[in-house]
Amino acid sequence: MNCKLCTLLFVCLVASSAQATITKDLGVVGKTYPIVEPDIILEMKQKMANQERVNSAMLRNRLRDYKPADLHELPNATKNNQKIVDMTYTLPADLLDADGKIIYPKGFTFNPLDYVTFRRGLVILNGNDREQLRWFEESPYYENHQAMLLITDGSAYDLISQLQRPVFYLTKDIAIRLQLATVPSVVVQEQDKMRVFEFEVKPTETDSENRNAPE
C-alpha cells in the first residue's frame, strides 16, 4: 500500500515538473505582431474636421454664387443728374397687429422720414463693372463706411473681401421705392425727402484700349 502511494506521488511530481518545464521552455513560436487598437475619438475628430472643411467650401461657393431672385439691374448713367424723391407712402391694405386689430387702416398716408432719420446714405453700382468700382474707390464714399453699398450685379461675397466692407444686393422694391433709374447712384436724406444723384462714369484711356483690343 505504501509502495503504491509512493509510486502515485512520484508520478504526480514528475508530471507537475514536466508541465512546469514545458510552460517555461515553450518560448515564442513564429512571428508575432503588436495588437493595434485605433483611437476612435481621434478618428471621429479627423472625420468631423474633414466634413467641416467640405461644408465650409460648399458654403463659400453657395455664398459666392448667391443672388436674390428679385435682384434689380439698372443701366449705366449717360449723364450726371439728380432728383428729389418724396417718400410719402399710402398703405394698400389694413395694417393689423398680432390680434388682428387694425393699427392703421387701408389708405393711411405717412412719410417714414417724419419718424426716422437715415444718416447713412446709399451707394448703388454695378459690381461687375470695373469702371464703376474704380469710381467708387476714388470717391469720398469709399472712406465713409457708414454709407451702405448696394450692387445691381456681381458677387457681394467677392466684393466684401475686395472692398473690406459690407455689400448688399439691390432688390426691386428698394429700387422702385427710391425711383432708382441708373448706376452708379448715391442717395442721401434731405429733411423729409431723399435726393438721388446719378453719375456718368467715363472709361479711362486704358479701359478704352482694353475694350477695343481684339480678343
List, for residues 90-116, the tens digit of each pLDDT value.
999 999 999 999 999 999 999 999 998
- Measured CA to CA in angstroms, residue 93 lies from 51, 97, 114, 175 at distances of 48, 13, 21, 21
135-139: average pLDDT: 95
Sequence-ordered alpha helix ranges (H) in 80-203: 130-138, 156-163, 172-177
* Cβ atoms within 10 Å, residue 177: 14
126-144: average pLDDT: 95
Closest C-alpha among 191, 200, 174 to residue 82: 200
17-32: average pLDDT: 49
Query: 106: which 3 cell numbers?
Result: 387701408
Contact status, residue 123 vs residue 148, Cβ threshold 8 Å:
yes
CA–CA distance, 199 with 127 (Å, rounded to integer): 15
Please tell me the predicted confidence (pLDDT) of residue 179. 96
**How sure is the predictor about 65, in pLDDT bands with cuts at 50, 70 and 90?**
confident
Helix (H) or strand (E) holding 106: none
What is the percent of the chain with per-residue pLDDT over 70, rounded to a whole number? 72
41-53: average pLDDT: 74
CA–CA distance, 182 with 76 (Å, rounded to integer): 5
